[in-house]
Amino acid sequence: MGILSRILFKLIHISLWQAAWLAIILILLSSFLMKRIESETFPRFIDALWWTMTTLVTVGYGDMYPKSDFGKIFTMALIYTFGIGAMGILVGKIFEGFNVYKRLKEAGRLLYKGKKHYLLIGSSKDKMESIVEEIFNNGENCEIVIVGRGDRSPIQHDKVHFISGNPAEEEVLMKANILEAKSVAIFSDEGNSHPEYADGKTLLIASRVEQLSKKHQKSIHTIVEIKKEKHMALFEHANVDEFILSNDSLSRLVAQAAIHHGSSKLFEQLLSMKDGENLYEIRKKEHWLTFKDAAQELFEQGAILISDGVRLDIARRHKEEISDDAKMYVICDEDTYKRIN
């Protein structure tokens, strides 16, 4: 019993690859022996292999079966010793591998190797859920990678991956495959009540992103949330592409709603991608020479041109020529946006 116990212990604790090789050897050896034992019943090796697979994995199809006494004894030994044991270990190892992968993914300990993903850094669980929902509501067939200090993914979704660690460290950002990300959004630390400290932490992460961009000569589009507008100048050396003012923007929205009753509903619709009129980016068409040309044609199609991606004074610059690389923004519904494109 001591020897048998040690053998069983070693079999149970073998790796998945070892279990797979054990199963392959067992299948090939059993097929070869059965062909030699009953060559008339199994004239070809593929026939013996078919019988072995259906016998080990299922209960057999009954189309081919051993007819000699020795073949029947070998079949019983194969099923009740090697079959149940070896295949059971292999199946168990496969499920164990899936469970280990799931635990490591939820704990944020796996490398992410995808491309064209959205990388989100920081923020609370509630805000992160809203952001993820908006991205998916936009119809984006993409994946999202969240980087944070927690030990568990804040969002459970097949297309959401989590990387645990300090986002200001190069190793952590490289695990999130930041160089292949479509964009990187860095959110302000909501747990820090001091705007100076919160923006300082955000600046540290943005600087690390810029350092990686220069080191690998890879352009990384970065969006940063800051709490104080006067801190914006401090981010100049980090080459941040876009800024979102958290507290200041909220205060301004509240003030606008207080002055212009109902205006908050307009902002809410523009900030949501669920339905109705929304903000979309379009590219310049060849026959558009000036903003007036573009605005008139877009208006006839049911869209309103509001910006060239930098300024909102399109109406006052209607005679100005449109640059070829201009990113123009319009307000329209989804069907109109598809017709324009």
Q: What is the CATH number of domain 275-340?
A: 3.30.70
Structure tokens given for 151: 């030990």
- Give the residue extent of every domain in the chain: 2-106, 118-250, 275-340
Please name which of 161, 4, 150 lies closest in space to residue 85, comparing C-alpha atoms.
4
Q: Minimum mean pLDDT among 48-62, 151-165, 177-191, 213-227: which range?
A: 48-62
**How far from chain centre, in Å, is Cα 258?**
40
Predicted model pTM: 0.59
pLDDT over 60 at 308, yes or no: yes
Confidence band of 210 (pLDDT split at 50, 70, 90): very high
* Banded pLDDT at 97 (limits 50, 70, 90): low
pLDDT band at 300 (very low <50, low <70, confident <90, very high): very high
The CATH number given to 2-106 is: 1.10.287.70
Indicate if the pLDDT at residue 194 is higher than 70. Answer: yes
CB-count exposure of residue 121 (10 Å: 0-12, 13-18, 19+): buried
Could you tell me the pLDDT band of residue 68, with boundaries at 50, 70 and 90? confident
Token pair of 264 as six digits:
């908050």
- Distance between CA atoms of residues 154 and 127, nearest Å: 11
CATH 3.40.50.720 fits 118-250, yes or no: yes
Residue 8 above 50 pLDDT?
Answer: no
Q: Which two tokens stand for residue 40?
A: 């008339």
Looking at residue 264, its pLDDT comes to: 65
Share of the chain above pLDDT 90, in %: 20
Nearest to 173 by CA among 106, 112, 235: 112
| pLDDT average, residue stretch 238-257 | 69
> Which pLDDT score, from 0 to 100, does residue 14 have?
58
- Per-residue pLDDT of 138-185, as tens digits, reads 666 789 999 988 888 888 888 899 999 999 999 999 999 999 999 998
pLDDT band at 253 (very low <50, low <70, confident <90, very high): low
Model pLDDT, residue 111 = 87
Backbone angles phi, psi at 39, to 5 degrees: -70, -30
**Beta carbons within 10 angstroms of residue 95's beta carbon:** 10
Q: Which residue in 243, 121, 96, 249 sits closest to 176, CA to CA? A: 121
Contact call for residues 160 and 199 (beta carbons, < 8 A): no
Q: Would the pLDDT of 216 be above 90?
A: yes
Lowest mean pLDDT among 225-229, 296-300, 319-323: 225-229
